[in-house]
Homo-oligomer: A and B are copies of this chain.
Amino acid sequence: MQIVDKLAESTVQSTTVTLTERVTDALQHAIVTGDLAPGAKLNEPELARRFGVSRGPLREAISRLEARRLIRVIANAGARVVALDTGQLIALFETREALEGQAARLAAERMDTAAIEELRLLLDRHAAAISADGGRAYYQDEGDYDFHYRIAHGAGNPLLAGILLDDLYQLLRMYRFRLSAAHGRAEQALAEHGQILAAIAERDGALAELLMRRHVARGAARLTDVQGQGKKDDLSL
């Protein structure tokens, strides 16, 4: 916090990007990466100076990130970065399990064969990356959500995709960032993706949903295993 964080310049000159959008992105990044720590009090004048804008767009950014559950605002008392704890992590995965299971079911009903084939190629690329990495981790970057992102969109339900990808995704990233999950079992995760895709390709919605729900629940177990090696509840390390 010593220099003014330069807001990202738009690389597409034909679309207008507001300061609020830029501050939202920058603030989100600072939160997800832990630069602004979980539970930390957010000071408006200070952050406005940091990002080089007035308090107006900064307040709007805070409000947007509140909607994404990264920030909690109490009227007249201020805003804080959301605190992380095991209970919330479990709640997040229970919620995602339901939504991603439904997304997989709907994808089995609605995804066209071209998109399914693209997804198969995507998993091939994942497999190659895992081999190159010696099978230690399943890094997808946005790609961990590239598969899930594709399924969420393939479900053909914009509301469902919006909740998963706009409302919950950044909170999940926050946990993943904090837990530095080297997922282990990369081949297993990839195999699960493959099974889900096979069920979708066979248009078996019930099976796709069941497999996806298991997959998400196993992801929860892996993350809580990592977390179990430290303090049980407080992730504010």
Stoichiometry, copies per complex: 2
In Å, the complex CA distance between A39 and B102 comes to 29
Interface residue tally on A, bucketed by range: 20 to 34
- Known contacts: A16-B76, A64-B63, A163-B167. The answer to whether A102 contacts B91 by CB under 8 A is no
Chain B residues, Cβ within 8 Å of A97? 102
Residue A69 interfacial (CB < 8 Å)? yes
Chain B residues, Cβ within 8 Å of A95? 99, 102, 157, 159-160, 163
Residue A53 interfacial (CB < 8 Å)? no
In Å, the complex CA distance between A94 and B157 comes to 8
Residue A75 interfacial (CB < 8 Å)? yes
Q: Which residue of B lies closest to A166 (CB)?
A: B67
Choose one: B91, B102, B158, B162; the contact of A98 (CB below 8 Å). Answer: B102
A78 to chain B, nearest CB (A): 13
In Å, the complex CA distance between A157 and B91 comes to 5
Contact call A67/B69, Cβ cutoff below 8 A? no
Chain B residues, Cβ within 8 Å of A21? 75
- Known contacts: A63-B64, A64-B63. The answer to whether A159 contacts B99 by CB under 8 A is no
Q: Which residue of B lies closest to A103 (CB)?
A: B98
Choose one: B75, B88, B91, B167; the contact of A167 (CB below 8 Å). Answer: B167
Chain B residues, Cβ within 8 Å of A162? 69
In Å, the complex CA distance between A85 and B63 comes to 28
Residue A190 interfacial (CB < 8 Å)? no
Residue A43 interfacial (CB < 8 Å)? no
- Residues in A lying within 8 Å of B, measured CB to CB: 16-18, 21, 56, 59-60, 63-64, 66-67, 69, 75-76, 88, 91-92, 94-95, 97-99, 101-102, 106, 157-160, 162-163, 167
Q: What are 8 inter-chain pairs, A to B, with CB distance below 8 A?
A: A18-B75, A56-B56, A69-B162, A91-B159, A95-B99, A95-B160, A99-B99, A163-B167
